[in-house]
A and B are shown apart, each in its own frame.
Chain A
């Protein structure tokens, strides 16, 4: 719908329900007697009785001219707004009308009321009515006897849990969470290599249960996974149990209420659960990546529904993962890591950084197999109780990683094929050598978890480097 032009002269937008509007009725009559005044009423078509007026019955005038408060008084010249005041202010109304003794009998000032066009109960419908034409996705009618939740299951659109029906109202509200245009292509979604528009992301974000303010994070995560470095195609297609693990950083994580503390990988936080879910639904629905088709995982893991959390930056003695990976501190950013489910690394007795690091190294030895080396990266999520030991000893990220890598140099002869009665292991060409368990940048450190518990968490990765998946860090843009 095109934006209606305001008539030249003065324009007032009012509603009966607003006491300030009712109070200004005699003033409107005075203005109408001396100059051109067009009054638009939002609710009662008869109001104001003493002044000629039009009924903004569909709120088109109010919506398109951004009326947030009534009364609003606007001066229009040659079809263009040149001045505006909201609520009642004797000084402002006199200035805009040029009537020097206007409203002498009224109080000096009286705040207005909310415009119907921004009424929370109406705004989604209005947005759909007036901006719905930006949506290009196919519209699907649900018949009155059809249960939309069952229908969406039957169409194969869900991850096995119910999804929220993506109505135009909800999708437009979701799109209000980003400054990006609905038709902007953010990425090419594997495995079908489909251009992924902001609109399609918003539809899947609605279904996942996201709030509009999560949209920039969902978009950033999809940008981060849909490229040759992260290799979402391979992460999806592999028989191994990995999916994108999304680690979020920056002040925005608090603004959207993400969890970095108690039960950080678990249930209960809307942002954590739905951002990751929206990413997976977009890959499923737009990219065509479905289990049993291109997704060939032998077991998968429950994190493939959503594995997304915020880092506890305030409590971290070793900075944040994003800043370690080149993002300035204080910037919203996220890192994607192809990871399996988390497992617990318990050490309740260590009191020195050496003891703790020895324990971590021993636990990390078993990533994928105690006799594998160099094939997989790992994300080690250190809890506050454990990180305190490093903080008290003055160990920062560089020292922790150096000490871990030093303890993870393995005598190859101990892990050759056949040793210890296990066929698995390194080929014989490594005999008499020392091999690192992880490549030099193969241990990622993050800080998260509840304030009590001398446990940390190990999230093992997938085939690493150019032949598999590289962690990718991107800034989150509004």
Chain B
């Protein structure tokens, strides 16, 4: 038997050979007062019900709320929409579920 560390077979990597960049989470804001918060509706049924209530609660706490929606829940948000949210808001909340 050969040395256990001797390569016996070489195979090719079937993956993308890339690793996602790890980013640290931002610290949680102590208050939303005065912040601009985006609410993103992914267009699942009744997502608006959830976001309407969230908007009420955030507004009560002094936040300015902007509403956004994906064209369809079945596809990733378009780059333009992501850019718009990133440039206009301090925070974003996404309604994911039915």
- Hey, which bits of chain A sit against chain B, CB under 8 A? 135, 137-146, 148, 152, 157, 165-168, 171, 189, 191-192, 194, 200, 203-204, 207, 228, 231, 233-234, 237-238, 281, 285-288, 463, 466-469
Contacts and interface: CB of A to CB of B under 8 A. Distances in A.
7 contacts: A139-B11, A142-B9, A167-B11, A194-B18, A238-B74, A287-B16, A467-B74
Interface of B is mostly: loop
B77 to A, nearest CB: 11
A281 B16 contact: no
Given A238-B74, A463-B74, A468-B72, A167 B10 contact: yes
Given A143-B5, A144-B2, A144-B6, A234 B74 contact: yes
B8 interface: yes
Which 8 interchain pairs have the tightest Cβ spacing? A234-B74, A141-B7, A145-B4, A138-B13, A467-B72, A144-B8, A194-B16, A137-B12
A237 B10 CA distance: 33
Interface in B38-62: 43
Contact of B10 (A140, A285, A466, A469): A140
Contacts of B14: 137, 157, 166, 200, 203-204, 207, 281, 285-286
Contacts of B6: 143-144
Contacts of A285: 14-16
A373 to B, nearest CB: 16
A243 B61 CA distance: 44
A221 B17 CA distance: 23
Interface in B50-95: 71-76
Contacts, number: 100
B13 A137 contact: yes
A248 B13 CA distance: 29
Nearest to B12: A137
Given A194-B18, A281-B14, A285-B14, 13 more contacts: A138-B13, A139-B11, A141-B10, A166-B14, A167-B9, A168-B10, A192-B16, A207-B14, A228-B75, A285-B16, A288-B15, A466-B72, A468-B72
B95 to A, nearest CB: 16
B27 interface: no
B30 interface: no
A466 B13 CA distance: 35
B69 to A, nearest CB: 12
B10 A139 contact: yes
Given A143-B6, A469-B74, A171 B12 contact: yes
Contacts of A137: 12-14, 17
B31 interface: no
B12 A138 contact: yes
B55 to A, nearest CB: 24
B10 A233 contact: no
B10 A231 contact: no
A168 B13 CA distance: 10
Contacts of A194: 16, 18
A228 B17 CA distance: 24
Given A145-B4, A194-B18, A140 B74 contact: no
B1 interface: yes
B81 to A, nearest CB: 15
Contacts of B71: 467
Nearest to B9: A142
B53 to A, nearest CB: 21
Nearest to A146: B8
A286 B15 CA distance: 4
B5 A168 contact: no
A204 B16 CA distance: 11
A167 B1 contact: no
B79 to A, nearest CB: 11
